[in-house]
């Protein structure tokens, strides 16, 4: 294993994405993972760590689930590939119907992609195409939100609200993109449990942009119902409802990016159902296949679907699709994932675990390094008191201490995000936070 680590990391042939942490400490041998089972990863150096973020929100049912492995094997034997451009097959057709049934009423058709980034760019293209096909081609503007993450395609990056991600490509970002303020204000909502009471007024930012540009130029608004990658920023009570009202009033499409929140993370099939707001499109990825085979997609209303299918011309004009769209292996895995979620009453389980996670996380408020604690569904975040000039080094250190204590942590700047697997027991969640307390105490000595 030692030589494996050396080859994997020091030669650097495998260009790891987002390797900032590796650059900071100049080495990363101990980041080589060897295997995984249930909610645990075993690293190449033999350490076993609890996966506090379900492999970047992807593996809610844990690793190595025997039923999923078997479904994969069986599908590979029957039909291992079919080009999505030319043909379809039962696993994809029935999966689309099943996902549509799980979605809020009115969202009835699924366009498959293979990742969150692809799903987002597909949704943005559908939004612009929809208006165009209806003779409303002046609607080209897209509105995202500060601190939103929508993947790394040019569309997703443009509507995304992480300025540092866009910096290198600033000259070629999509034109006509604006960003709403993010619905989080530390002064009003710090240490909120679940949805904060304050902040719905921030949805009025959308009216401001409408007044600035004229509604007739705006195609769509895209938001994550809960901003995940940038630290579990929970929507204030009434905020998403207000966005919906403003979009409906002005004929703007509303897209919820549910790549993280979809398929149980909020204790419902989709966050849309938890918050009681139906968008015009939902993007999904990650948990639908428990991270085992890549899959993403967009769920759209009948109105959108019919607009694109209204005669051969409109369908041909939308020249969009992926070689691996609705891949049979992914579709078969997704069916099994959804079977397990249904049979094991996963939404109910998440709701029960939500209160455990909430209580445990908020018990960390006595720590002097903690600036804020947030949670909703089976997600939570610890925001640390900023460590000027030292945040990057501290995030590396937190990760290192985490490995030492047995937890794989997701640290971005001053924020540690949590999204443990749905199969975690209440004891595992408690243990996870106890270990995090030790990690934070150790870090408080250093910073
Ligand atoms: N949208 C959201 C909300 C995400 O969280 C992510 C990934 N973290 C993406 C899009 C991009 O997904 P992918 O990495 O699969 O392209």
CATH label of the domain that carries residue 206: 3.40.640.10
Domain boundaries, position 220:
69-343
Number of compact structural domains in the chain:
2
Residue of 219, 235, 240 lying closest to 155 (CA atoms)? 219
Q: Helix 205-213 crosses helix 239-250 at what angle (to 10 degrees)?
A: 20
| Among 286, 288, 324, 410, residue to substitute to test ligand 1 (most atoms within 8 Å of Cβ) | 286
123 CA to centre of ligand 1 in angstroms: 13
Judged against a pLDDT cut of 80, whether residue 209 lies above it is answered with: yes
Cβ neighbour number for residue 68 with a 10 Å cutoff: 24
224 CB less than 6 Å from ligand 1? yes
113 CA to centre of ligand 1 in angstroms: 12
Which residue, by CA, sits nearest to atom 12 of ligand 1? 116
| Among 54, 224, 229, residue to substitute to test ligand 1 (most atoms within 8 Å of Cβ) | 229
Same domain, 7 and 114: no
Same domain, 22 and 111: no
Distance CA 9, CA 16 (A): 9
Instruction: Give mean pLDDT, residues 116-130.
Output: 98
Same domain, 215 and 108: yes
Which residue, by CA, sits nearest to atom 13 of ligand 1? 116
| Range in 27-36, 87-96, 339-348 the model is least confident about | 27-36
Q: Could you tell me the pLDDT band of residue 315, with boundaries at 50, 70 and 90?
A: confident
Distance CA 8, CA 269 (A): 38
**pLDDT, greater one: 1 or 341:** 341
Judged against a pLDDT cut of 90, whether residue 130 lies above it is answered with: yes
Same domain, 159 and 250: yes
Could you give the strand order of the β-sheet that contains 407-408, starting from the edge strand earlier in sequence?
Answer: 33-37, 40-43, 48-51, 407-408
Q: Mind listing the pLDDT tens digit for each residue in 158-189?
A: 999 999 888 999 999 999 999 999 988 889 99
Judged against a pLDDT cut of 70, whether residue 10 lies above it is answered with: no
Atom of ligand 1 nearest to the CA of 261: 3
- Position 393 scores a pLDDT of 87
285 CB less than 6 Å from ligand 1? yes
What's phi and psi for 167, nearest 5 deg? -50, -50
Same domain, 320 and 360: no
Judged against a pLDDT cut of 70, whether residue 274 lies above it is answered with: yes
Atom of ligand 1 nearest to the CA of 148: 3
Instruction: Give mean pLDDT, residues 135-157.
Output: 96
445 CA to centre of ligand 1 in angstroms: 35
Ramachandran region, residue 276 (left: φ > 0; alpha: ψ -120 to 50; beta: rest): left
* Mean pLDDT computed over every residue of the chain: 93
Judged against a pLDDT cut of 90, whether residue 236 lies above it is answered with: yes
The answer to whether 295 and 286 are in contact (CB under 8 A) is no
Q: Could you tell me the pLDDT band of residue 7, with boundaries at 50, 70 and 90?
A: low
Atom of ligand 1 nearest to the CA of 296: 15
Instruction: Give mean pLDDT, residues 376-402.
Output: 93
Same domain, 75 and 117: yes
Instruction: Give mean pLDDT, residues 372-385.
Output: 98
Domain termination site, one of 328, 343, 358: 343
Domain termination site, one of 288, 320, 343: 343
408 CB less than 6 Å from ligand 1? no
Instruction: Give mean pLDDT, residues 38-52.
Output: 95
Which residue, by CA, sits nearest to atom 3 of ligand 1? 259
Distance CA 249, CA 194 (A): 29
211 CA to centre of ligand 1 in angstroms: 31
150 CA to centre of ligand 1 in angstroms: 6
| Among 151, 228, 266, 294, residue to substitute to test ligand 1 (most atoms within 8 Å of Cβ) | 151
- Position 436 scores a pLDDT of 98
120 CB less than 6 Å from ligand 1? yes
- Position 84 scores a pLDDT of 83
127 CB less than 6 Å from ligand 1? no
Percent of the chain with pLDDT over 90: 84
Same domain, 80 and 48: no
Same domain, 316 and 433: no
- Position 23 scores a pLDDT of 47
Judged against a pLDDT cut of 60, whether residue 2 lies above it is answered with: no
Domain termination site, one of 343, 365, 380: 343
Same domain, 199 and 326: yes
77 CA to centre of ligand 1 in angstroms: 30
Which CATH number characterizes residue 29's domain?
A: 3.90.1150.10
| Among 223, 285, 291, 293, residue to substitute to test ligand 1 (most atoms within 8 Å of Cβ) | 285
231 CA to centre of ligand 1 in angstroms: 14
Percent of the chain with pLDDT over 70: 94
Atom of ligand 1 nearest to the CA of 120: 10
What's phi and psi for 42, nearest 5 deg? -110, 120
Distance CA 115, CA 27 (A): 29
Same domain, 105 and 194: yes
The answer to whether 45 and 8 are in contact (CB under 8 A) is no
Distance CA 339, CA 263 (A): 12
Same domain, 376 and 251: no
Same domain, 400 and 296: no
58 CB less than 6 Å from ligand 1? no
| Range in 84-93, 150-159, 293-302, 376-385 the model is least confident about | 84-93
228 CB less than 6 Å from ligand 1? yes
117 CB less than 6 Å from ligand 1? yes
């Amino acid at each position: 294993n030692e030589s494996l680590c050396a080859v994997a990391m020091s030669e650097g042939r495998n260009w790891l994405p987002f390797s900032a942490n590796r650059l900071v400490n100049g080495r990363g041998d101990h980041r080589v993972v060897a295997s995984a089972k249930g909610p645990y990863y075993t690293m190449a150096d033999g350490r076993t760590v609890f996966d506090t973020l379900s492999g970047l929100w992807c593996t809610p049912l844990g690793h190595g689930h025997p039923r999923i492995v078997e479904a994969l094997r069986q599908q590979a034997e029957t039909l291992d590939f079919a080009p999505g451009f030319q043909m379809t097959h039962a696993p994809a057709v029935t999966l689309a119907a099943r996902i549509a049934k799980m979605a809020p009423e009115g969202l009835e058709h699924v366009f498959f992609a293979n990742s969150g980034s692809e799903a987002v760019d597909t949704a943005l293209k559908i939004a612009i195409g929809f208006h165009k096909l209806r003779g409303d081609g002046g609607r080209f503007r897209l509105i995202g939100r500060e601190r939103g993450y929508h993947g790394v395609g040019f569309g997703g990056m443009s509507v995304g609200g992480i300025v540092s991600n866009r910096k290198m490509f600033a000259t070629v970002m999509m034109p006509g993109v604006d960003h709403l303020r993010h619905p989080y204000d530390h002064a009003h909502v710090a240490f909120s449990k679940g949805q904060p009471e304050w902040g719905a007024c921030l949805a009025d930012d959308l009216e401001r942009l409408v007044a600035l540009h004229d509604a007739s130029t705006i195609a769509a608004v895209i938001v994550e119902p809960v901003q995940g990658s940038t630290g579990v920023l929970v929507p204030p009570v009434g905020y998403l409802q207000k966005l919906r009202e403003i979009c409906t009033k002005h004929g703007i499409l509303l897209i919820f990016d549910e790549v993280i929140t979809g398929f149980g993370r909020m204790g419902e099939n989709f966050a849309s159902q938890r918050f009681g707001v139906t968008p015009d499109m939902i993007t999904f990825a990650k948990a639908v296949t428990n991270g085992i085979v890549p899959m993403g997609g967009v769920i759209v209303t009948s109105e959108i679907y019919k607009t694109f299918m209204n005669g051969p011309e409109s369908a041909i004009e939308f020249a969009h699709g992926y070689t691996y769209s609705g891949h049979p292996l992914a579709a078969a895995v997704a069916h099994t994932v959804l079977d397990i979620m249904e049979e094991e009453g996963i939404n109910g389980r998440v709701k029960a675990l939500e209160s455990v996670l909430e209580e445990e996380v908020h018990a960390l408020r006595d720590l002097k390094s903690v600036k804020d604690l947030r949670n909703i569904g089976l997600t939570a975040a610890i925001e640390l008191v900023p460590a000027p000039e030292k945040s990057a080094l501290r995030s590396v250190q937190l990760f290192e201490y985490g490995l030492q204590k047995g937890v794989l942590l997701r640290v971005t700047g001053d924020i540690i995000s949590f999204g443990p697997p749905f199969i975690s027991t209440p004891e595992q969640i408690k243990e996870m936070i106890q270990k995090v307390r030790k990690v934070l105490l150790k870090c408080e000595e250093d910073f």
